Amino acid sequence: MSAPTFEAEATPAPPRAAALRHLLADPLGRFGLALVLVFLLTAIFADAIAPYNPSAIAIPARLQAPSLTHLFGTDQLGRDVFSRVVLGARIALEVALVAISLALALGGAIGLAAGYGPRWLDAILVLVFDTVRSFPTIMFALALVTLIGPSLETVIVIVVATFAPSYGRIVRTQTQALKHAEFILAERSLGAGPARILAVHVVPNIVGPLFILASMDVPVVITIEAGLSFLGFGVRPPTPSWGTVLNDGYAFIGNTPWIILAGGLPLVLSTLGFTFLGEALRDAIDPRLRKEF
Amino acid sequence: MAALLEIDGLSVDFAGSQRPIHALRDVRFSIERGRIVGLVGESGSGKSTLSLAILRLLAPSARIAAGTIRFEGVDLFALSEAALRALRGERIAMVFQDPMSTLNPVLSVGAQMIDVQFRRADLSRAEKRARAVAILKRVGIPDPERRIDDYPHQFSGGMRQRISIAMALMSRPDLLIADEPTTALDVTLEAQILDLLRDLRRDFAGAILLVSHHLGVVAEICDEVVVLYAGELVEQAPVAELFANPRHPYTRALLDCDPGRLAADAQSFPTIPGRLPDLGAPRTACVFVARCPLAFERCRAEAPALTTVGPGHRASCHLLDG
Amino acid sequence: MAELLEIERLRVRFRAVKPLNAWLAGIRDPMISAVADVSLSIPEGGAFGLVGESGSGKTTLGRAIMGLVPTEGGEIRLKGVPFPRRGGPALKAWRHQIAMTFQDPTGSLSPRFTVRSLITEPFRIHGVTGRDLGAEARRLVSLVGLSPDFLDRYAHELSGGQARRVGIARALALDPRLLIADEPTAGLDVSVQGEVLNLLARLRHELGIALLLITHNLAAVRLSAERLGVMYMGRLIETGPTATVFRAAAHPYTAALLAAIPIADPTRHRERAIAGEVPSLLNRPPGCEFHTRCPYVQARCRAEAPAKREIAPDHLARCHFPLGAGGSG
């Protein structure tokens, strides 16, 4: 029997407007939102924003310092670094969206089966998850690159393999918790089968938190992609990625530091932006953390 | 002599999603030394809010909008946090509905009961343990010398509640606040706990504020009863008087609904139709008007004041003052 | 009158302790019998009150009838047809005829569904076509005394009493022959408990539906069911007509339950409460399982488990020395 609370006001989820207001009231939230918006707009409108073709080589104009014609200067092949960074944002976003979606779908499906199905299935699937998760990412990346060569697709596969087990675990735990919830029991008593229960009653109740979690992984994926590309395991030249820009700039860090700055700064800023935004979102949605009155 | 606890014009508000919710409005009553006062009310009555307000244990979203609570003449709301802490557990102790939240699951019962005696620097650890064993025995825990080292989860719900009561009484507080102590228990266990509280009364000279939604519980051990409805005090009387002669329509209706009072030839269960009024709205009418079978024009226009209808018996109803 | 529901010697067991822990703790049998050898029957349109405290197994029994927990041994028959153990469409058909409402009123309603969707869900689950679901929703909601405005609300926007009504409306969607109400008054204020109970009574009269009322609230059973059964540690220790049991309980536990109800009259004090607590299901006392707490315990009670005794026609109790039968102290 629950303790008597306010019968007149059962705490419903705060209306979206109120949540948004709280988000915007938090200065870090505003900052994060601004950074994320800049990132998203840059990525989406990359073609329109980039003044030059990022792969256009122009040796005579190589290693120029930032100027009005080349906002971030040029790299060792005369390519406009600003355009490369702008296009790199798109690559980053693409990888993040595709990889996380795939990881969610794959991990989620397996997690649902593990959480709702019979114990033996759960035991097997958890074993699979844990095995995949125990591979160190770099070694796994190395192995994969050796097998299928470096490319954008390779990066996506690596990210999916890294994140799917974690998402799967989360989905599994949530599903297990719901499995014994009274409303699921009620649906079973009405005659609903497992397929219906999972699709109609379980999934909608777990996507919310899962979505927020996954969106906080976006900066992590961006960094992974940049890292892999930096190491040469990911995107291949001449495709611009923040990682390849970093790689290019690394060699010339002594006398032409702007290249590496241009590659690194957007990475840092977008990671910060997503992190602040994610935390502010979480605080805005959870009314129990509100301390005012 | 001043009363032990005086609640004077207490109003408490909570933060609502749109506007403040008035959980308590202008509640005034006092508790004399050594008396057992029952605080009765249903959901939304504000009874738990009141019991938590005494020790300033309300959630951060709550605000004391008006009024004071005086303990032995001292204004509790004016006390510093340190001074208040000195009172809590020592002069005023509390027992909650769910014993599992009162007891720390990772410490043995003995460790907790010894810890609760932290102010008694004059006692050795062995003496504190002995006191704990003695009081566990007093509240009916079998084999206390051995069981004192068990963890809370190793006890049943009824036992845990007894342990909570034991811990609360260790310092012989002047006031014990018991917030729905039996609500979570089965009826046979509830009966045991009520018998225990009645027994303890003989050795324990302090006052008890017993909060409950069940009139039957209150009738068993209380000396006087305060009835709350939607945050307001609607009736107060010595226990025999309240049950024999309830003057507020809500009290009467509540008594009628008590399952123990079901008439032998009843065809259906009595209920109080309707719902609580909006606790966020200002009070312009009698708080019970929407559900009162005797409501008339004046009830809708004006909130009644508390009228004295007998010795120690007050009620707020327009029908009572001509 | 034909029996609608017949339960014969039903048993439900759970593993309470993992095998390794059981072995380490010296517990011989890690399984507990939540329901042990229970038999009862309910006629068409009849009402049966299943009473017991926490851990008595009454909720488990209700769930077993719905097929939500597996059973071992014993039989459940609905209009003579045994429970379909294999599941499949036969189980679905079973759940077309029996419906259940759950203890947690808002918790048993899927949080993202409107009341309209919740109430009409049974139609969708069972693929019932050719019905105007909107009209059905309105019919059901008014059947339980709620206005049509409620159709667009969500579970968390309902009070406890309203949520219960929605649960009942949903249960009635497909015209079941038996409604199992698990603790319909739990968590409700005393002043509104009667609303739900009166509603159930009215529905019985209007729809001729049978009712299995599972509750720890004895007083609720008095007007709601003509027969009742009291469970203790998974066994039915007394069954009989409600009026008779209230007037002259045969089993000491039943008497203790009746005596424990607080009386809202300060001039009357009830008898001393019964001592002790329910023993662990892992460690069932030998003989009569109530002997550890029974004020009238005798040597025979400690050694021999009592069989069902007929105190009067249709009034049975498992006791060697039933009260008032001239055998108790």
| Closest among C245, C235, C326 to C288, alpha carbons compared | C235
pLDDT band of C329, cuts 50, 70, 90:
very low
B205 alpha carbon, distance to own chain's centre = 18
For C194, the closest of B214, B255, B269 (CB atoms) is B269
B104-119: pLDDT as tens digits:
889 999 999 999 888 8
Q: How much is the average pLDDT of A25-52?
A: 86
Tell whether the model's pLDDT for residue A290 goes beyond 50. no
Tell whether the model's pLDDT for residue C326 goes beyond 70. no
Output the pLDDT for position B13: 93
Output the pLDDT for position A52: 84
C239-257: pLDDT as tens digits:
999 999 999 999 999 999 9
CB within 8 Å of chain A, chain C residues 87-116: 91-92, 95-96, 99-100, 102-104, 106-112
CB B202 within 8 A of CB B179: no
For C264, the closest of B258, B272, B275 (CB atoms) is B258
CB within 8 Å of chain A, chain C residues 2-61: none
Q: How much is the average pLDDT of C211-217?
A: 93
Output the pLDDT for position B171: 86
Residues B320 and B308: their CA atoms lie apart, in Å, by 9
pLDDT band of C302, cuts 50, 70, 90:
very high
Q: Which domains does chain C have, with CATH numbers?
A: 3-318 (3.40.50.300)
Percent of chain C with pLDDT over 90: 58
Give the residue with greater pLDDT, C26 vs C231.
C231
For B15, the closest of A3, A5, A293 (CB atoms) is A293
Tell whether the model's pLDDT for residue C327 goes beyond 50. no
Tokens 């606790």 map to which residue? B279
User: What is the chain B residue with the closest CA to A15?
Assistant: B17
**C110–A192: do the CB atoms touch at under 8 Å?**
no
Closest chain B C-alpha to A133 CA, distance in angstroms: 32
Output the pLDDT for position A241: 86
CB within 8 Å of chain B, chain A residues 191-230: none
pLDDT band of A3, cuts 50, 70, 90:
very low
Give the residue with greater pLDDT, B242 vs A133.
B242
**C68–A188: do the CB atoms touch at under 8 Å?**
yes
| Mean pLDDT, all residues of chain C | 89
Query: Is A5 part of the contact surface with chain B (CB cutoff 8 Å)?
Result: yes
Residues A175 and B134: their CA atoms lie apart, in Å, by 47
- Of the listed ranges A71-85, B305-319, C110-124, the one predicted with least confidence: A71-85
Output the pLDDT for position B160: 92
Query: Is A59 part of the contact surface with chain C (CB cutoff 8 Å)?
Result: no
Furthest C-alpha separation in chain B:
68
Whole-model pTM: value is: 0.83
CB within 8 Å of chain B, chain C residues 185-214: 189-195, 197-198, 201
CB C94 within 8 A of CB C67: yes
Considering only CB atoms, which chain A residues are within 8 Å of B17? 9, 11-12, 14-15, 18
- Domain ranges in chain A are 94-285
DSSP code of residue B88:
B
Which positions in chain B have a beta carbon within 8 angstroms of at least one beta carbon in chain A?
A: 14-17, 20-21, 23, 42-44, 47-48, 60-63, 97-98, 180, 183-184, 213, 276, 278-279
Tell whether the model's pLDDT for residue A9 goes beyond 50. no
Residues A28 and A32: their CA atoms lie apart, in Å, by 6
**B184–A1: do the CB atoms touch at under 8 Å?**
yes
Q: How much is the average pLDDT of C112-136?
A: 90
List the subunits that have 3+ CB pairs under 8 angstroms with B.
A, C
Closest chain A C-alpha to C228 CA, distance in angstroms: 23
Tell whether the model's pLDDT for residue C209 goes beyond 90. yes
Residues A267 and B231: their CA atoms lie apart, in Å, by 56
Tell whether the model's pLDDT for residue B148 goes beyond 60. yes
Residues B10 and B7: their CA atoms lie apart, in Å, by 6
Query: Is C215 part of the contact surface with chain A (CB cutoff 8 Å)?
Result: no
Output the pLDDT for position C229: 96
Output the pLDDT for position A11: 39
Considering only CB atoms, which chain C residues are within 8 Å of A200? 110
Q: Which of B13, B17, B161, B214 is the best substitution to test chain A (most A C-beta atoms within 10 A)?
A: B17
DSSP string, A80-139: BHHHHHHHHHHHHHHHHHHHHHHHHHHHHHHHHHHHHS-HHHHHHHHHHHHHHHHS-HHH
| Mean pLDDT, all residues of chain A | 82
**A187–C109: do the CB atoms touch at under 8 Å?**
no
Tell whether the model's pLDDT for residue A174 goes beyond 80. yes
Give the residue with greater pLDDT, B64 vs A6.
B64
Give the residue with greater pLDDT, B277 vs A238.
B277
Output the pLDDT for position C268: 79
Considering only CB atoms, which chain C residues are within 8 Å of A7? 159-160, 189
CB A152 within 8 A of CB A235: yes
- Of the listed ranges A44-58, C200-214, C290-304, the one predicted with least confidence: A44-58
Output the pLDDT for position A282: 74
Residues B231 and A192: their CA atoms lie apart, in Å, by 44
Output the pLDDT for position A286: 61
Q: How much is the average pLDDT of B51-76?
A: 91
Output the pLDDT for position A16: 58
Output the pLDDT for position C62: 95
| CATH no. of A94-285 | 1.10.3720.10
Q: How much is the average pLDDT of A175-197?
A: 89
pLDDT band of A1, cuts 50, 70, 90:
very low
Considering only CB atoms, which chain C residues are within 8 Å of A1? 186-187
Tell whether the model's pLDDT for residue A262 goes beyond 60. yes
Bridge partners of residue C182, in order along the sequence: C214
Output the pLDDT for position A283: 74
Tell whether the model's pLDDT for residue A12 goes beyond 80. no
- Which of A20-29, C153-162, C257-266, C284-293: highest mean pLDDT? C284-293
**A191–C95: do the CB atoms touch at under 8 Å?**
yes
Q: How much is the average pLDDT of B196-218?
A: 88
For A8, the closest of B44, B61, B213 (CB atoms) is B44
Q: How much is the average pLDDT of B197-215?
A: 88
Tell whether the model's pLDDT for residue A8 goes beyond 70. no
CB B167 within 8 A of CB B199: no
Where are the strands (E) in chain B, listed by range?
5-14, 21-31, 36-40, 62-71, 74-75, 92-95, 175-179, 207-212, 224-229, 232-238, 307-310, 313-315
Query: Is A14 part of the contact surface with chain B (CB cutoff 8 Å)?
Result: yes
Considering only CB atoms, which chain B residues are within 8 Å of C204? none
pLDDT band of B35, cuts 50, 70, 90:
very high
List the subunits that have 3+ CB pairs under 8 angstroms with C.
A, B
Output the pLDDT for position A18: 63
Q: How much is the average pLDDT of A175-181?
A: 89
Q: How much is the average pLDDT of B294-315?
A: 91
Tell whether the model's pLDDT for residue C312 goes beyond 50. yes
Reduced 3-state DSSP string for A34-87: HHHHHHHHHHHCHHHHCCCCCCCCCHHHCCCCCCCCCCCCECCCCCEHHHHHHH
Beta pairing, strands C210-215 & B92-95: unpaired
Percent of chain B with pLDDT over 70: 99
Output the pLDDT for position B53: 93
A101-131: pLDDT as tens digits:
999 999 999 999 999 988 899 999 999 989 9
Query: Is A120 part of the contact surface with chain B (CB cutoff 8 Å)?
Result: no
Task: Return the number of CB contacts < 8 Å for B and C.
Answer: 124
For C262, the closest of B159, B214, B268 (CB atoms) is B214
Q: Which domains does chain B have, with CATH numbers?
A: 5-91+171-263+270-320 (3.40.50.300)
Tell whether the model's pLDDT for residue A6 goes beyond 70. no
Considering only CB atoms, which chain C residues are within 8 Å of B183? none
Tell whether the model's pLDDT for residue B259 goes beyond 90. no
CB atoms within 10 A of CB C111: 15
Residues C32 and C10: their CA atoms lie apart, in Å, by 14
